[in-house]
Amino acid sequence: MKLRVLGCSGAEFPGHSPSGFLIDGSLLLDAGTVGAALDQEEQRGIEHILVTHCHMDHVRGIPFLADNIVVSGSSHKVQVIASAEVIAAIGSHVMNGLIWPDFSRIPTPQDPVLSYREVPVETEFQVGDYSVLACRVNHPVPALGYRVTRGGVSLLYTGDTGPTERIWELAGDLAALVVEVSFPSAMEEIALMTGHLTPALLAKELVKLSRPPRRVLITHLKPQYQEVIAGELASLAIPGLEILQDGATYQL
């Protein structure tokens, strides 16, 4: 699998974009960043979007993507795959005809650019050529992590989570783990309050895995604390650990 980082920050600043990870040009993990990183042809290559949760920095690219496709005159369709709670939140609070047009009814209700598909939790399902397993994680709103497998290669993306359990039990043999670390360890209290990890908390989570991932790719750093977090992560000496960078591509 080819993983392209569209955005991997826990906030938005110049050079730091919110979460969006494109697999093989067609499967998007979260949609905090889409149009700012992809040209028109690349946007039309997206077929499915797996959404972890409804926070703005993980869904805000979906309305713009839908608009770009319709305005271009393309007949391309995109399926948004998420929990029932996320689908309801997007329909009620984002593409509700007030904040943004409802692209699940545009250009026509019979043939819309966007469709929704509810995730079966802890039951493998197919998304194109990929086998996907969703698992609940620990965040203030309903949130999922996803294991994506193709050709015997598995990537686990936690999305936003604080200390959690079940996803590590289901992880299996991983070519890569994409896991968040939002705050430095000195800010553990706010990390736990908001459902995020610190380097110290990450170290405790990784020992819950039955086997270590070959690569541990860190995402969702708060840019204000990036240097501190990077230093703390380096001191952990975790094999295969790397901090993701916007625009980078990884072959798994």
Specify the pLDDT at position 48: 98
Cα distance between residue 136 and residue 250, in whole Å? 26
Residues 75-116 pLDDT 10s: 999 999 999 999 999 999 999 999 999 999 999 999 999 999
What pLDDT is recorded for position 189?
98
| pLDDT at residue number 75 | 94
Record the tokens describing residue 85, joined without a space. 């709670």
Beta bridge partners of 31: 20
Contact 156, 147 (CB under 8 A): yes
pLDDT of residue 86: 98
Residues contacting 242, CB < 8 A, separation 6+ = 215, 216, 217, 218
pLDDT for the residue numbered 230:
98
Q: If you average pLDDT over residues 161-178, what whole number do you get?
A: 98
> Which of 16, 56, 57 minimizes the C-alpha distance to 243?
16
